[in-house]
A and B are shown apart, each in its own frame.
Chain A
Amino acid sequence: MTERLVIIGNGMAPGRMLEHLIEAAPGAHDVTIFNAEPRVNYDRIMLSPVLSGEKTYDDIVIHDDAWYAAHGITLHRGHRITGIDRDARTVTSDGGITAAYDRLVIATGSNPFMIPVPGKDLAGVLAYRDLDDVEKMLDATERGGRAVVIGGGLLGLEAAAGLKARGMEVTVLHVMPTLMERQLDPAAGYLLEKELKRRGIHVITKANTKAILGTDRVQGVELADGTQIPASLVVMAVGIRPNVQIAKNAGLEVARGIVTTDTMATSDPAVFALGECAEVGGQVYGLVAPLYEQARVLAAHLAGDTTPRFVHQDTPTKLKVTGIDLYSLGDFAEGDDREEIVLRDASAGVYKRIVLKDNRIVGTVLYGETADGAWFNDLKKKATDVSDMRDTLIFGQAFQGGAPADPLAAVAALSDDAEICGCNGVCKGRITGAIRAKGLTDLDGVRAHTKASASCGTCTGLVEKLLKLELGDRYNPATVQPMCPCTTHGHDEVRRLIRAKGLKTIPAVMQELEWQTSCGCAKCRPALNYYLVCDWPADYADDYQSRFVNERVHANIQKDGTYSVVPRMWGGMTSSHELRAIADVVDKFDIPAVKVTGGQRIDMLGIRKEDLPAVWADLGKAGFVSGQAYAKGLRTVKTCVGSTWCRFGTQDSTGLGIRLEKFMWGSWTPAKLKLAVSGCPRNCAEATCKDIGVICVDSGYEIHFAGAAGLDIKGTEVLGHASTEDEALEIVVALTQMYREQGRYLERIYKWTKRIGVPEIRRQIMDDLPRRKSYFDRFVFSQKFAQVDPWSERVSGKDKHEFKPMAVVGYQEAAE
């Protein structure tokens, strides 16, 4: 026999419960519902849009008549249950119907609370609970005039906004100092009040209603301080009380609500309570999310599954007033064991506050920008430890994880009147203004001039970011210049940590060294790539996406987007065969310009990117390899003709130059590296302004380094003397390796030398022979991986995608 299930009340909670029940145990119950409201189950939440005119009643019906018919459910509309006979297991309605039950569900919801003041029963004084109330309000709006809403909570404000939208003059009276004080902290309450006032709704806080005035119809409201506000409509929305009277009369246990177990059973196991009228775990609820959860639990039990239990969850609150974004969740009271993160952007009307306890979110208030509410709710629910994202948490999910987590950008995006220091009420504009006007360069300066971060100090991070934004690279908290805004580490620190921690990929470096952006920038990525190439020659896979275009496509980009190509001419020597091959390539590819470079080779300019592989193929056939004229690496070794031809020549300078170039080509260095070898001190190869230069003398070779002839001009320093060509080569190579290992990316050798000091370099390379040897050996090892001609690699198909357009869309295709 099917079980007889009787339900008192047909609100949202039992509606949901029936859906679950029908699904879990179709046809197992003979369901009868009594509903005091003369209608089907509708979406009570959506009454406010009906009031404001954005929706109609038909839009918000959840179950229509056909639904009850289809599921064989008997619905007695407009029948209020007046008594429950638990012994007889029957209920009786005011319409005279008695129904017998095997199990009974009480779902009578709540009654709106009416403050007991004189005049509360006058015509025109309404609650805000059901469709009847809304219809009466709409009636009143037809006549226009003034309305007073008592209660500045969720319901009251929705009513006020709705009535205003219908053209009434509306005043909200709220007894507390700020609106929605149960969901919002004072700051957000203040913003909300400001917005409502902007919309023309009057708000009076700390308003104690003394009486409702009028003889048969309402005419106004009088406050305790004597103020009188005229009104033809008064809506009371000051709270709800669980509707427990019939349960109490039936002798069920009742506290604030009808007391139930976590399976929704009352003190009588055949009777259940559900929805706003129920009190479970000492709590009563007034939002649908937990009620729906109760519905799910109860349906399971009625269907025979006794496992589900109701567990408390905080439910976020949102205000359903179009154009006001407000989100509140959990507990946001202050406390000694709590920390808070606050973000204010006054001009954008944004206020966000996250309350943390033990690095976990316990509460959140969002005003003006609520998109991240769900994310915060999720973090709170999962009790996620947020210490790792504390800096950017308040900026929301978009600033975490995959997307660029750049707190600097987020701070930059704040408007000038965004409050940075809550203790002293200092906004962004004042801080940046002071930095500029007073020429401040550090935290102490900002503290002295603005008081920002001078009290509790929680905003120190934000202030530092402002300094960084204002001063860029000039802001230098620990006198170490960070590599770039993505990190606080300087180059040396990064290099040291790469080795110390054995970091072998760019993501590993960024993770371990706590990069502040997800994938770096155009400054740090090439630097990191170089450091990894240099430190882990055998293990690291060069990341071409982190190289400047020239090094990626092995040619030099020109101002019009074409490229120039410079093949190696070892030591500046060439031949008729080579020159002929170059001439042929120039003709074949219609290369617009050919030029002799300062490094003793030939530059072909104006080559289209798509043609590069074919150009290289032809050059390769003639024996050319890439001149790496684009590389932060070994460029040229310029020579003079030396003892082979010159009457002053002391050694074979050309031969040594060629040997050096053949030994060192392909190596990557912090910045470009140009060498020269002159056959005598007349120095025709200009070796004394090169990165490394060799001057041949009768007794051997003078090794020079750290010259410059670019932006700066500087003669070389003398490193020392070598008596044999082999020794000269070893010294040059060891010096290069030392520079490779210690130089900062883009730091030319003369700048590195200035930083390290000539004596120290001399000591390591000239005096400490074992050390010189180990530098030399490390260079040789690394060359095993570096000396691959990039041109021939690409001719054979590597990185094909670099050189072809992805697609060519013709006129036909593109035409409309």
Chain B
Amino acid sequence: MSIWIDIGALDDLPLRGSRCVQTPTGKIGVFRTADDRIFAIRNECPHKGGPLTEGIVHGHSVTCPLHNWVISLETGAAQGADEGAVETIPVRVEGTRVLLLRSAIGARVAA
């Protein structure tokens, strides 16, 4: 069964903005787009690890603050000519709360 972890209130996330969640497996960026969709991805740019939560959110993408790669929030993939992708994390809104899928952020057990 999937277990979801409550990470805070929807109101804590500004529209066209983002927040960061610290987990044992690293930081996760939670984004809220202009059309009020919520996305979560690992907070590490596939280019040189830039903190994506610090970027400008536009459409369903974020532009990395370090060298302007544009990362899709839906797929985690770098857009345009750049290549690379960041892991997307299942996120859900329940009422006014935002939840992340625990198995996606928990300690990853070596297979």
Interface of A toward B, CB cutoff 8 Å: 402-404, 406, 517-522, 525-526, 545-550, 552-553, 557, 559, 561, 801, 805-811, 813-816
Contacts and interface: CB of A to CB of B under 8 A. Distances in A.
B35 A402 contact: yes
B97 to A, nearest CB: 11
Interface of B: 5-8, 12-17, 19-25, 27, 30, 33-35, 48-51, 54-61, 63, 65-66, 68, 70, 98, 100, 102-103, 105-107, 109
B82 to A, nearest CB: 13
Contacts of A809: 5, 7, 21-24, 100, 105
A517 B22 contact: no
A530 to B, nearest CB: 13
Given A517-B59, A521-B63, A806 B12 contact: yes
A806 B21 contact: yes
A522 B70 contact: yes
B12 A518 contact: no
Contacts of A549: 54-56, 65
Contacts of B30: 806
A816 B51 CA distance: 27
A17 B97 CA distance: 46
Contacts of B68: 522
B74 to A, nearest CB: 10
A806 B106 contact: no
Contacts of B56: 521-522, 525-526, 545-549
Contacts of A559: 48, 66
Contact of B58 (A517, A553, A806): A517
A521 B22 contact: no
Contact of B60 (A404, A526, A807): A404
A667 to B, nearest CB: 22
A411 to B, nearest CB: 14
A801 B25 CA distance: 22
B68 to A, nearest CB: 7
16 contacts: A519-B59, A520-B58, A521-B63, A545-B16, A550-B65, A561-B49, A561-B54, A801-B19, A805-B21, A805-B27, A806-B20, A807-B6, A807-B21, A814-B5, A814-B106, A816-B109
Contacts of A519: 16, 33-34, 58-59
A140 B102 CA distance: 55
A813 B109 CA distance: 15
B21 A548 contact: no
B15 A545 contact: yes
A521 B58 contact: yes
Contacts of B70: 521-522
A549 B51 CA distance: 10
Given A521-B59, A548-B56, 9 more contacts: A404-B60, A520-B58, A521-B70, A545-B16, A557-B66, A561-B51, A805-B21, A813-B102, A815-B107
Given A557-B66, A809-B22, A815 B106 contact: yes
A815 B61 CA distance: 30
A816 B1 CA distance: 11
Contact of A814 (B6, B15, B23): B23
A811 B24 contact: yes
Given A557-B66, A810-B24, A545 B106 contact: no
B33 to A, nearest CB: 8
Nearest to B58: A521
Contacts of B109: 816
B58 A525 contact: yes
A807 B7 contact: yes
A319 to B, nearest CB: 31
A808 B22 contact: yes
A807 B22 contact: yes
Nearest to A811: B24
A306 B51 CA distance: 67
A550 B65 CA distance: 9
B44 to A, nearest CB: 9
Contacts of A557: 51, 54, 65-66
A552 B51 CA distance: 14
Given A545-B16, A815-B107, A816-B103, A518 B22 contact: no
Contacts of B6: 807
Contacts of B14: 545, 801
Nearest to B102: A814
- In order of increasing CB-CB distance, the 9 nearest A-B pairs are A522-B63, A806-B19, A404-B59, A402-B35, A807-B7, A549-B54, A814-B106, A519-B34, A545-B16
Nearest to A560: B49
